Structure 1
Amino acid sequence: MRRIRSSAARAFLGAAAVLGLLLGAFLTLPGAAQAAGSQPCDIYAAAGTPCVAAHSTTRALFSSYNGPLYQVTRASNGGTADIGVLAAGGYANAAQQDSFCADTTCRISKVYDQTSRHNDLYPGPAGTAGGVDRGADAAELAVTAGGHKVYGIWISPGVGYRSHGAASGAAVNGQPEGAYMVASGTHVGSDCCFDYGNAESTPADTGNGHMDAVSIATTCYFAPCNGSGPWVEADMENGMFQGDNGSNTANAGNKSAFVTAVLKNNGQTTYALKGGNSQSGGLSTWWNGGLPTRGGYRPMHQEGGIILGTGGDNSNRNMGTWFEGVMVAGYPTDAAENAVQANVVSVGYSGETNVPNGPQGTITGPGNQCVDVAADDTGGNGSAVQLWNCQSYAEDQFWTHHTNGSLSTIGRCLDINGNGTAAGTQVELWDCNGVGGQVWQQRSDGSLFNPQSGRCLDSPSGATGNGTRLQIWDCNGSAAQKFTLH
């Protein structure tokens, strides 16, 4: 259906958009606990395209919002806490998380929708292209917003969130909609899929045009592409589109630490993609034209589910870093999107986005290799603990040393198989449970000593190759037992 408006209606919406732009310009400088003036959802509402979903772990996206941003769950006892804002319209209370999660690990178990529609996001169920998702480590990535410490969501393979079925108010069956997210242009990958936006109501690929989600990735799905990315793209199911029917060499990509990625789609004939540096400047329009003429995209067939960090069929093999995002009803104006970008820039996001920087650190062993968990950040109980080339983006190479002596990564602890004590017993990943086989003491000779067994973490025969399975062995001061916590 074509959108037809009277001249009076166009004038009203244009004035509203300008008002939103002006309001966005009057935000307080970063540093205030409460951000005065209009936030992104206020700007969109003033332009006639209200938010139907608003998610963030860093700040309120309405100037009046004073509720929870996200929920964390402790690994130690399963307790939960809602992390809110310092003041209405303000920034996340990271100190609340730090206090609640002290000396244990926490996962983000829910991301609250700040609209009245309660389109909250939860770790996703298994889909036709990926197993059950786990919540992100809540302390994996700390950055600064508005002068305050806040946490982003570090997406690794196996991490992802989804609404429970179709979300209230989200576009379906060719309705117009818009979305933006603030994510990282430095922690990205090419696998499927690091998305935020409209997806199937159940985690299965139901055909072309059944998704309308914004993505930033190095996925060149339709060659040729301009450079190596990452690019802001539209995942409209069975294709990561940069423009037209997929390929668009005018899309030069967005490589900044913080990227504002924007998508809008009228559901019938037209869509647009934009990207910008979330720390400065405006938006670049990478595509503003026709929807793909491949079958199924004219009109669109959205189902109104919401995803974060995965694909519509729960393809959960990619990585990324995410901070905030909204979905709106209707086709947003350029003026509203420009005002939202100005608001994002006013936040003053800063910090590294490509390396986990919470309380975790790497453990280097023989050959300067890293202590790693098999299965690429998805390790469950019994997963092998091994040596592997150090990779800055590998979540399972970042360990937290707790005051009870345990070492944990991706929500589980370095454990001796069967709580054994015999020389040669292999180590593994297991639920943290406080047993003696999970206690490790760093000693002055560089070894990691397990008091229960009286033995040290060891690489068999001093091997240093990728995939070398670690064990316990009689402490001997050799290079095979030198492990450094960073």
Structure 2
Amino acid sequence: MKIPHVWRRLRRSLRSTTPARAGAAVVILLGALVTAGTAAGPAQAATQGPCDLYAAGGTPCVAAHSTTRALYGSYNGPLYQVRRASDGSTADIGLLAAGGYANAAAQDSFCSGTSCVITVIYDQSGKGNNLTQAPGGGAAPNPDNLANATSAPVTVGGHAAYGVFIPQGTGYRDDHTNGIATGDQPEGMYAVLDGSHYNGGCCFDYGNAETTNHDDGNGTMEAIYFGNIKVWGYGSGNGPWVMADQENGLFSGVNAGYNANDPSVNDRFLTAIVKGGPNQWAIRSGNAQSGGLATDYSGPRPNVNGYNPMHKEGAIILGIGGDNSNGAAGTFYEGVMTSGYPSDATENAVQANITAAGYTTSTSAGATGELHAVGAGKCLDVPNASTTAGTQVQIYDCWGGTNQTWTHTSSDQLTVYSGSSQLCLDASGKGTTNGTKVVVWTCNGQSNQQWHLNGDGSITGVQSGLCLDVTGAATANGTLAQLWTCSGQSNQKWSLG
């Protein structure tokens, strides 16, 4: 345990965060110390995970899901299962070491040359609350899609991993759970999400839902919601917001409606928390890379019939609403559900554990240079320095021109100066299917112009989850770029700078 290193890191984190998100310094120090050592060695793990901290606080995990890391210091089982398209075979993806990080290389090897979907997200708590393909429900009668296994590459603790990328129509569920709160029983939950991937659809949730897959009335759910829908509750700014889905309402505060204290949050990695007990519930949120948690709401239940007492049913959902409303989008990395109402101090320690885990992307905002197509040995190029919106980009011999010089911005745009015009890399027509053209367009801040530059060299579109791809793996000048299912092949590897 490298305590001096952790102490220096903690002091920098506390100096760089606002008081509202600083949390309790003593508790954060405790959480940081028990997670020290994440950078020591190729597979070194935290000595404790979030669920060890919840247990120490008297509110043990009853479900623990992650595709990126162990959530207990001693866990050494599978994190998730993938199924490949070529032959329908499945494989469990485990850890590099007990209590450590996902063995992404095992997935890469198993899925090489084909595509894979995530079929199971295993419960690490030992209670068997595994998440699998969501069946049809009242809002959408057919089973939901499964997530592409490579659409959310990420780096955690210096190790490659994959999150769960959920576009519209995709969702996971467990209707037959063990130990999840029912009725008015107290519980807590957190999720680490991609704060830049969201929409205004209903409903990107993680948490407690109906076992019937239908809307069973007020108070039959208690789940984390993330997005910018304003049909029910909403917070300050334009969103997105962390809110609570308590059925027939997304609540940002005591009632459906506006809560000025629930801020818009768009941290690249976001910690979202909801907890609830008899006539008491809270929302908390924070940056999953640094700093503490803010309390966005803490108070009584909605003063509408059905919410006090609650009527929770104890299913678990991910990416959908309780009645299988599947019009939302988001990305999930890890999350848990607890028995009992966790204290703020326990959650502060968990937040310190999350920030110490080291979620990151490989290329920082502000990086500028040629965008090299690794497999072709050429550069991403705006043909003839065109200033026409909709021009499809290509690969071409690198020569250092402005039409080959790209900047990765803090809002995940890739900008280029072509002629005298600044343009953005854009998924044409907001396409989300294989073969969608990748073009330049006037910058507008929409999600089809946001790109994640990942630790494995891939570049994924935030809206689609597909990879920036050199068509046909060709190497000739003038070969066009497109979106395609991430495959790990060299024609989807890029280097900026």
- TM-score, with structure 1 as normaliser: 0.72
Q: Which residue of 1 aligns with 2:291?
A: 281
Distance 1:225 1:385, change over 3 A: same
Amino acid of the residue matched to residue 248 of structure 1? Answer: N
Q: CA deviation at 1:253?
A: 2.3
1:394 matches 2:463: yes
Q: 1:208 to 1:259 in 2, by over 3 A?
A: same
Task: Give identity over the alignment, percent.
Answer: 48
Partner of residue 368, structure 1: 391
Deviations 1:120-159 (A, max 9, x none): 0001111111232111111112111111111111110111
User: CA contact under 8 A between 2:171 and 2:318: conserved in structure 1?
Assistant: yes
* 1:337 alignment partner in structure 2: 347
Distance in 1 between the 2:99 and 2:390 partners?
Answer: 50
Q: Deviations over 1:292-318 (max 9, x none)?
A: 011111011111000011111111111
Structure 1 SS opposite 2:295: strand
Contact 2:233/2:250 (8 A) holds in 1: no
Cα deviation, residue 393, structure 1: 3.1
Q: Distance in 1 between matches of 2:133 and 2:469?
A: 23
Q: Give the CA deviation at 1:21.
A: 7.1
* In 2, Cα distance between equivalents of 1:166 and 1:269: 26
1:30 paired to 2:38? yes
The answer to whether structure 1 residue 134 and structure 2 residue 145 are counterparts is: yes
Deviations 1:139-198 (A, max 9, x none): 1121111111111111101111001x2310001111110000000111111111111000
Distance 1:245-1:26 versus aligned 2 partners, 3 A rule: same
TM-superposition CA deviations, 1:233-273 (whole Å, max 9, x none):
0001111111110231111122110000001000x201000
Alignment of 1:396-435 (within 5 A): 398=467
CA distance in 2, matches of 1:279, 1:485: 25
Alignment of 1:59-208 (within 5 A): 59-130=69-140, 131-163=142-174, 165-208=175-218
Q: What TM-score, normalized to structure 2?
A: 0.71
The amino acid across from 2:176 in the alignment is A
Residues 278, 20 of structure 1: alpha-carbon distance in 2 compared, 3 angstrom cutoff: closer
Deviates more, 1:286-295 or 1:385-394: 385-394
Q: 1:374 to 1:279 in 2, by over 3 A?
A: closer
SS in 1 for 2:98: coil
Deviation at 1:30, TM superposition (A): 3.1
- Give the aligned residue type for 1:28: A
Between the aligned partners of 1:54 and 1:20, the Cα distance in structure 2 is: 21
C-alpha distance in 2 between matches for 1:396 and 1:147: 22
Whether 2:242 is the aligned partner of 1:232: answer yes
| Cα RMSD, aligned residues only | 3.4
The alignment partner of 1:104 has SS state of coil
Unaligned segments of structure 1, at least 5 residues: 1-17, 354-358, 402-406, 408-439, 449-456, 458-483
- Count of residue pairs brought into register by the alignment: 388
Equivalent runs, 1:235-314 vs 2, <5 Å: 235-246=245-256, 247-266=258-277, 268-314=278-324
Give 1:184's aligned amino acid.
D
Show CA shifts across 1:379-432 (max 9, x none).
Answer: 8xxxx977798824332764768xxxxx8xxxxxxxxxxxxxxxxxxxxxxxxx
Q: Give deviations 1:344-396, integer Å, cap 9, x for gaps.
A: 0001110179xxxxx99x9x99943699899975x8xxxx9777988243327
Where in structure 2 are there 5+ consecutive unaligned residues?
Answer: 1-25, 364-373, 384-388, 394-425, 441-447, 449-460, 483-491
Residues 1:302 and 1:369: Cα distance change in structure 2 (over 3 Å):
farther
In 2, distance between residues paired with 1:56 and 1:122? 13
Please say if residues 78 and 94 of structure 2, whose CA atoms lie closer than 8 Å, have aligned partners that are also in contact. Answer: yes
Q: Which deviates more from structure 2 when the two are superposed, residues 385-394 or residues 205-214?
A: 385-394
**Could you say if the C-alpha distance between residues 51 and 321 of structure 1 is closer, same or farther in structure 2, counting changes exceeding 3 Å?**
same
